Amino acid sequence: MPFYGYRWKPGATAGEAVIYSELLTTYGAAAANDAIMQDGVTVYLNSKATIVAKTQLAAQYGGIMAWELGQDAPGMASLLGAIHDAE
């Protein structure tokens, strides 16, 4: 599971990796959306709902791996918390 997303700035030829906790600070809608478009910038990430769906699917195949726990957000926005809640 990615605890990061990619930010694409106008005219960029490649996305910039941004940790999940920073995405939440910069783009408040990050926890609820897989794509955010704001001020000409597009961000792609896995929302909490996507993380839950992937966890439920992965449970049928033996488990998951997260990258990287240090990039998670605290409290209700936590992706690790979403993984635990989905189990």
What are the pLDDT digits (tens) for 12-41?
999 999 999 999 999 987 889 999 999 999
Can you give the pTM of this predicted structure?
0.86
Q: How many CA atoms lie within 13 A of 7 on its CB side?
A: 17
42 pLDDT higher than 90: yes
User: Stretch 35-59: mean pLDDT, rounded?
Assistant: 94
Torsion sign (Cα): 62, 6, 46, 69: positive
